[in-house]
Amino acid sequence: MAKYRVGNGFTLIEMVIVMVILGVLAVGISSFLQFGSRIYLETNDRGQLIASARFAIERLNREVRNALPNSPRLIGNTNQCLEFRPIRSTAIYTEIPLAPLPASSTIKVVRFDDSQFNNALELIIYPLTSDEAYTPSNKISAISSSNPAFDPAQNEWSIVLNGPIQFTEASPTDRAFFIDKAVSYCIEGTLLNRYSGYSNYRADGVPITVPVLMAKFLDVGSRFQVNAASQLRSGNVLVRLNFIKNNEKVSFNNEIQVPNVP
């Protein structure tokens, strides 16, 4: 009589138990992978926000610290723009047409570092308010485009202005600033834009020119604040930038000291 050998195998209960165990392991592994992916994405988003904020704030720090004293001001319908006049060079003057002397188109200054000087700049002497730092102002004069090159062998240089002017006040330190056109940083929605080289403004007070993007992902509450200088303290600019991306939020509060030596 033939004999049948029964092979070893799995019972139905064993297979069910194995499938349950594998299912539990799969759920655990997938949850672990999802958690790791979420951490990576959140860390990446936070890193992008911090990098964007640091770049914008560092650029603001450098430019505002080199701004003409008393020139920072807020513009725009909602004061969303910080505007200031960049200093390109400075000099000590020895002769200016100061009232009651008649107007003149020439001033004399002590030889200075003219590496950043050019005839497209403007001359300003002793601005005490932000209004005096922008044209029209009786403390500002354009420099003549035909101004000759300076003689490095001379200790005193003459600077030809664009037309006769009579300055109303002298600087206590006899300081003359050579300044460039205004620069603005504007918060526009979720973007921080930088404007330069403009002369006109839109109806909402934002400069008319092509902006350069400084930062994005701005959130509500981002703003500028300008505190004018006084006899007891220097002026300063307060910058608050809030960033948000995929529910990741980063806030930066920064105070920039503005030189107060007009």
Q: With bands split at pLDDT 50, 70 and 90, how would you rate the model's confidence at 154?
A: very high
- Across residues 177-187, what is the average pLDDT? 95
CA angle, residues 104, 108, 114, in degrees to nearest 5: 125
- CA neighbor of 218 nearest in space, from 197, 190, 248: 190
Name which of 163, 157, 165 is nearest 145 in CA terms: 163
DSSP letters of 56-113?
HHHHHHHHHHTBPTT--EEESTTS-EEEE-BEEEEEEEEE--BTTSPPEEEEEEE---
Q: CA–CA separation, 222 vs 119, rounded Å? A: 37
pLDDT score of 260 more than 60? yes
Q: Give the domains, in start order, of the chain with CATH numbers.
A: 46-83+183-258 (no CATH), 87-179 (2.40.10)
Sign (positive or negative) of CA dihedral 117, 118, 124, 128: negative
Q: pLDDT digits over 69-113, tens only?
A: 999 999 998 999 999 999 999 999 999 999 888 999 999 999 999
| % residues pLDDT > 90 (the chain) | 47
Mean pLDDT across 196-203: 90
pLDDT in tens, 208-243: 999 999 988 898 889 999 988 776 677 889 999 998
Q: Are 43 and 216 in contact (CB under 8 A)?
A: no
* pLDDT at residue 93, rounded to an integer: 95
> What is the predicted pLDDT for the residue at 147?
85
